[in-house]
Amino acid sequence: MINLVLTFSLILGLGAALGLAASAWQASKKQALGSVDAGLAALVGSLLGGRAAHIAAYWGYYQSRPAEIPQPWLGGLSASGALLGAALGLLVFSAFTRRRPGELADGLLPLLACMVTSAWLACWLDGTAYGPGASGWWGLPSQDEWGQVSKRLPLQLIGALLALAWFWLLDRLRLPKSAPAGRLAGLAYLGVALELFGLSFFRADPGPTWRALRLDAWGSLAAAGLALLWLWFTFIQTKRFSHD
């Protein structure tokens, strides 16, 4: 289990490093360092949000083991909680630096793409978020949380490929020049949240549920709602500027 956790952390760390480098590379020289700072704030928020959501979902376990709460290296993160935490971390950074959150979010799209993709691949090697058993040609060897390997629907690989396809489409999307900063990031965030929600129906790993939905699915819906609220705000901005 320790080796699996270390592998998971290593892949996420590589994804974070690649994403921060790509975000800094696409920024101007004057904004490169600020882009890295904003990315680090989003990553810290993602870690805290993912850990907090996981602890809340499994409070019955952590209630009797409070010493494990501040030890994320033992394993235990929520994808939807991380997504919400990243947004909160970026908003806090925006408030302290007085920089527009939309511009910051747009500049961190490479980081979001790398983190989502690396997280899915890390889950594949870690034996989490796996799909149901599959005996057909589409089944690929995948292990569960007990380390047992069997042919399964490659849900984690599908998640990584869908994320890459979504960000590839967004990279080729030509928004009108009048579109306010942050709209592209809002679309990216919405796509990631909806992907997490849709693929949650195919997950075979055990997890807490509420009203027949996994808690992670509810968290993904909350993230999607946040993205829709942000996109609505950008459209309001467009209308206001067009009337001025």
Dihedral sign, CA of 127, 159, 202, 132? negative
Q: What percentage of the chain has pLDDT greater than the value 90?
A: 75
Q: For residue 242, is pLDDT > 70?
A: no
Check: CB of residue 190 under 8 Å from CB of residue 221: no
| pLDDT tens per residue, range 52-78 | 999 999 999 999 999 999 988 777 899
Q: Specify the pLDDT at position 1.
A: 45
**Residue scoring higher pLDDT (177 or 13):** 13
| pLDDT tens per residue, range 147-195 | 889 999 999 999 999 999 999 999 988 777 667 889 999 999 999 999 9
Summarize the confidence of residues 112-118 as an average pLDDT.
97
Nearest to 123 by CA among 202, 49, 65, 45: 202
Query: Please, which pLDDT band fits residue 227 given cuts at 50, 70 and 90?
Result: very high
- Total domain count for the chain? 1
Q: For residue 2, is pLDDT > 80?
A: no
> What domain range is 212 assigned to?
2-243
Q: Tokens representing 230?
A: 């942000």
Q: For residue 37, is pLDDT > 70?
A: yes
Query: Please, which pLDDT band fits residue 8 given cuts at 50, 70 and 90?
Result: confident
Q: What does pTM read for this prediction? A: 0.91
Q: Tokens representing 95?
A: 């408030």
Give the DSSP letter string of 186-238.
HHHHHHHHHHHHHHHTT--S---EETTEEHHHHHHHHHHHHHHHHHHHHHHHH
Nearest to 115 by CA among 60, 43, 50: 43
Q: Tokens representing 153?
A: 């629907």
DSSP 8-state class, residue 75 = S
AA identity, residue 100: R
| pLDDT tens per residue, range 73-109 | 777 899 999 999 999 999 999 999 999 999 999 999 9
